[in-house]
Structure formats: C-alpha cells, structure tokens
Amino acid sequence: MFSTLKWKLVFWQTMIFSVILGLGLITAYSLVKNTHLNRSKENLKRDVLNALKMPGRILMNRQLPPGVAVLDESGNIVLGSIDTEHENFTKFIEQVFRTKRPAYIKLGMNEYFVAKARFVTVLGDRDFYLLAPAAGMGDFLKILSRAFIVLWIFFSGISFLLGNYFVSKSLSPMNRITNELKDINTTDLTRRVYDPGFNDEVSVLARTINSMLDRLKIGFEAQNDFINDVSHELRTPLTAIQGYAELIQRFADRKDIVNESARAIQETCVKLINLSETLLMLSKPITQLEIRPIELRQFLEELADEFRSEFNDFQIDVEGEGIGCADPKVLHIILKALTENAIKFSKDRKQIILRCGKGWMSVKDFGVGIDESEKDKIFRKFYKADKSRSSNGYGLGLSLVEKLSRIMGCKIDLQSEPDKGSEFIVSMPECHKEERK
C-alpha cells in the first residue's frame, strides 16, 4: 500500500512539514531559553557587583538578593549562603564546576540558576560561580520543551491527515482514469476516459490519452479495412492460380492453354511478390543511407525511360534542371511509388510529368485528384482514399513514400484539386559540404 504514489506524496509532505515545524520549534525554544539564561546571568552579575561595592562582608551579604551565593573555584562560599550540609552537596558542587554555560541545577528540592563569571580582584582576574534560586524557571523550561514536543506531534498528525485528504482528492481523477482505462480494450475503442476539464496536469493527461485512443481507433479501423481488402485481393489471385493450375493439369496436351495459363500464373505471382515486398519494406527499419548529390534531370530521364517501357500507354515527360542530395536507391523507390500512384488514378488524360528544380522534384498527373478532406489521411498505412477507384492497390504506396522521405529528411507536399489532377512535391534537405564533393 505504501508503495503507491498517494502514500509517497503524503509521506514526503508530512516529513517535510514535520522537519520544518520541528526546526522552527527547536529554534523558538533555544531562543527563549538562551535569552532568559543570558538575561538572568547579567542581572545576577550586576547584583553581585553591587554587593561587592559595599564595605565589609556583612553589608555585602545584606546587599545580595536572598538565596544568592558566590563560590570560588575551590568551592568555598565567598558571599551569600547555601545549604552545605545537604547530603547531595558534593555532587551538586561537581555539577557546578562542570558548568560552562548558564544552567539550572537541583540541590535536593531546591533548584539553582548557575552561571560562571569573571571578576577583577586584588589577586587579579578570577572566575567565580554565581548561584541564585531558580524560582521554578528550570521546571518551566522543561514543561515548555515538552509542550513543544506535544505540539510537534499534534501538528505533524494534522499535517498527515490533511495531506492524505488533499492528495486523495487531487489523485481521485487519476484513479478514475486508471479504472476506466482497465475497461477499454480493442473490442470497443469508442470509450474515452474522464477529462476534468481544467488546464492542470491530470486534464492534460486525460486529453492526451483520449487523443491516443482516437489514433488507435483510426489505426485499428484502417488495419481492419486493410486486412479485409488484402484478404479479398489475396483470395482472388490465389483462386486464379488454382484455376489455371487445374487447367494445366486437365489440358496438359494443349500447348496454347498451358502457355496462357503459365503466363497468367506468372503475372499473378508478380503482383503477390510486389505486395509482399512492400509490406516487408514498411515493416523493417532502414539503418544505412548513402546520401550524395544527384543530377535530378538525368535521374528523372532514366526513370522516365524505365516507366515508358513499363507503362507504354502513358506519355511521361521530364521538365526542369537541378541538383539535390538524397540516397539514389531510396529516391528511386519514392518516385516509382508516386508514379504508379499517379498512373493508377489517371483515367482520361494519360500523361505524367516528372519535374525537378534545385533540391526538389515532383510527380504531376491529370487524374481524378484528391479531395481536401483526404489530404491529411492519404499517407496513413492501409488507407485508401477512394475504394471504388483503387481496387488494384493495397493502400501502402503513399505510406511507404512518407516513411522513406522522413528517413532521408525530405518533405512531401501535395497540390491537388478534384478532377484536375495532383502533384506530389519531394523537397530534399540541403547538401552538406562533404556531400557536395
């Protein structure tokens, strides 16, 4: 129980308060005691000096206040009187001689104030011990110290109770949030934790958790959609492969059917391999990059030749000049994914423009475009902006583009209007000196 945050806070709050209160009470007690002792010593010393001014020992003793006595360092009574016949007098004298600072010492039922003082005599400076009736001040100081101890215990207890109350009240929203979080699971991500509605740390934590739950809900929904889509996409080619395999078995003597079936199986396998490679690339981290200057025009021309042979029904143009710093292999994957995305959504005007400038390149199409509400979502993994127009994809291409661009320090901007086309712009970071060489 005492390992919880609540009891730790209560414990340390009580400890700090108790220490501060204890130091304050000790300081107050010491101040009262020392002030009283010093004043008593000065008053007693003054009375003794006044007595010493009187001529004759009899007058000196009369001048002293009742009960006051002056002892020399040998224990002899110089002035005044004291009960030397008391059974504890020897022990009393020993305590007096050990006194360095003003103190209260008991002789039987009587208590004496004892102080050591130096006086000038005909024999030079000598130390004397001044004794005066304490009038109960020693007992008073003891009672005062005990009262301070009782006050310290009492207010420490009050501090513990108040600390427990206020800490419990402060942490009650967190306890509620914890209990609500225990009831939230992947089967129901619509529930949210309690938000006190203030600007304190607990409210910020609650809003952060709710925001995280929002993102988890979106992620799980997208993943479920992806699993459903991929399950369908995998089922279709696998069924096709099974069907063509059965055709080959049934018509093994028909060369045309066997060749056509083999070709169809090969094309289907290529699609499945591409899907697997994309999923693997998204899942594994990229730890090494070879960032170097790239002549962007030449880079895009080579890509355009590759794309023209692969997508021979599209017109692919290259515009601009410039140099940028990136990893050529990673940049090739990004541009290819953007180009394939552009071709996928270009229905009527089959033209793609690869553009470049100083530190940037882009892929522009004249296809269906992207609605403004979809622009912030298209880079999410498994997200497909329009299922009716993207049945041949898996919602992974742009997610891969975003991941690879982030790793290289690139920035992706999108300019798009529905039914007018889109342009994805890849802005590369500045080249460092060693990269320019």
- 196 falls within a domain: no
- Both tokens assigned to 240: 């096709």
* Domain carrying residue 256: 201-283
Instruction: Indicate if 96 and 123 belong to the same structural domain.
Output: yes
Please state the separation of Cα 281 from the chain's center in Å. 32
Evaluate whether residue 397 is within a structural domain. yes
Judgement on whether residues 141 and 68 belong to the same structural domain of the protein: yes
Which tokens belong to 165? 């109350």
Q: Quote the DSSP letter at residue 185.
A: B
Residues 219, 323: one domain? no
CATH number, position 301: 3.30.565.10
Nearest 5°: the CA angle 373, 377, 378 is: 105
**Could you tell me if residue 180 is inside a domain?**
no
Residues 367 and 324 occupy one common structural domain: yes
Long-range contacts of 261-270 (CB under 8 A, 24+ apart): 264/240, 265/240, 265/241, 268/237, 268/240, 268/241, 269/241
Look at residue 189 and tell me if it is in a domain.
Answer: no
Position 154 in a domain: no
**Among the three residues 244, 262, 283, which one is the final residue of a domain in this structure?**
283
User: Where residue 244 sits, what CATH number does that domain have?
Assistant: 1.10.287.130
Q: Which two tokens stand for residue 426?
A: 């890849």
Please give the structure tokens belonging to residue 346.
């270009």
At which of 283, 307, 332 does a domain end? 283
pLDDT in tens, the chain (437 residues): 556 788 888 888 999 999 999 999 999 999 988 888 889 888 888 888 877 777 666 556 666 778 888 888 888 888 888 888 888 888 888 888 888 889 998 888 888 899 988 887 666 788 888 998 887 888 888 888 999 999 999 999 999 999 889 888 888 888 888 888 888 887 778 888 888 888 888 888 899 999 988 888 877 776 776 666 567 656 767 888 888 888 888 888 888 888 888 888 888 888 778 767 666 655 555 657 888 999 999 999 999 999 898 888 999 999 999 999 999 988 988 998 899 889 888 888 899 999 999 999 999 999 988 888 888 778 765 566 554 344 455 555 787 788 888 888 899 999 998 888 999 999 998 886 545 44
Q: CA-CA distances (angstroms) from residue 110 to 135, 285, 290, 394?
A: 9, 89, 96, 102
Same domain? 19 vs 122: yes
Query: How many CB atoms are closer than 10 A to CB 394?
Result: 18
Same structural domain, 370 and 311 = yes
348 and 316: one domain?
Answer: yes
Q: What is the model's pTM?
A: 0.48
CB 130 within 8 A of CB 115: yes
Last residue of a domain, one of 220, 252, 283: 283
Say if residue 300 is in the same domain as residue 220: no
Structure-token pair, residue 169: 């009240």
- 191 part of a folded domain: no
**Percent of the chain scored above 90 by pLDDT?**
24
Total domain count, the chain: 3
pLDDT tens for 237-254 read 788 888 888 888 888 888
Instruction: Evaluate whether residue 357 is within a structural domain.
Output: yes
Q: Please give the distance of CA 28 from its chain centroid, rounded to a whole number.
A: 41
Q: Do 250 and 298 lie in a common domain?
A: no
- Give yes or no: residues 269 and 298 share one domain: no
Phi, psi of 182 (to 5 degrees): -65, -25
Is residue 166 in some structural domain?
Answer: no
